[in-house]
Amino acid sequence: MDQRYDFKKGKLEGFKHEDPMLFFKEWYQEAHEHDCADPHAVVLSTVSTDGQPSSRMVYMREMLEEGIIIYTNYLSKKGGNILKNPKVAALFYWDCVERQVRIEGVAEKVDKSISDDYFANRPRISQIGAWASEQSSEIDSRETLEERVKHFENKFPNEVPRPPHWGGYLIKPHYFEFWQGRLGRLHDRLCYTKDGNDWRKSRIAP
C-alpha cells in the first residue's frame, strides 16, 4: 500500500558549521530535546569479504571529536567483518524531527582502558550477558543460553571483568550527509567529505 506522508518540520538553508561533528552534536541534542525515541540508536552496516552488506541496530554510547563509539562482541559477525574490512556506514534517523544523518568511515578498536571504564558501568545482567552470549554463533536452544548465564553468574559472584573479546569501536568519519525532509520529497541534503585535514561541503539533489 502506497501511503504518502509529507515532511514539513524543517529546512536546511545552508551549512551551520565548518566541522560536521559540531553539526551532528547539535542535531543529536535537538533530537533529545524533541523526545525522539532512542536518539542514540543507529543502523550500522558492514561488508563481508565477498562483498555482502550486513546491517543491524546498535547504540552510539560516546561521541568524541574524532567520531562516535559503539560497543560490541569483537567475535560477532560485525566484528568479523570489521576485522577484514574496517570501512563501515552508520545511519541515524529521527522521525520526530524528520531528519537523518548518514556517516561513512573507518572503524577501529578503542583503547582497552576506554572499554574497561564503559564495561564497569554497565548493569550486571549486561556484563554477564557479554560473557554468556557467543554473539552471532549458532546455539541449539534458548535453554543453552540461559545455562551459560547461570554459569557466569556463579563464576563471577561479585565484580564482573570485561571479556577480552568485548569492547568498543571508534567510527572515524570521512563523509557526513545531513538530510532534512521537505515537502514533495524535495529534501535538503548537505554533505561533508573529508579532504586531507579539511572538509569539503556540498549540497546534493534529493
**Is residue 185 among the annotated active site residues?**
yes
Give the active site residue among 185, 189, 200, 203: 185
pLDDT at 178: 98
pLDDT at 16: 85
> Which grid cell is 94?
529521527
pLDDT at 1: 59
pLDDT at 20: 97
Select from 3.20.20.140, 2.30.110.10, 3.40.50.720, 2.60.120.340 the CATH code of 20-123+164-203.
2.30.110.10
Give the pLDDT means over successive 10-residue stretches in the chain (206 positions): 76 90 97 95 97 97 96 96 98 97 98 97 97 92 96 97 98 98 94 96 96
Q: Please provide the DSSP assignment of 154-180 as one string.
A: HH-SS--PPPTTEEEEEEEEEEEEEEE
pLDDT at 136: 87
Q: What is the Cβ-side half-sphere exposure of residue 46, based on CA atoms within 13 angstroms? A: 20
**3-state SS assignment for residue 40:** coil
Which DSSP helix (H) or strand (E) runs through 25?
A: helix 20-33
CA distance 86 to 84: 7
Residue 162 · residue 115 · CB < 8 Å = yes
**3-state SS assignment for residue 152:** helix
Domain-by-domain residue ranges, the chain?
A: 20-123+164-203
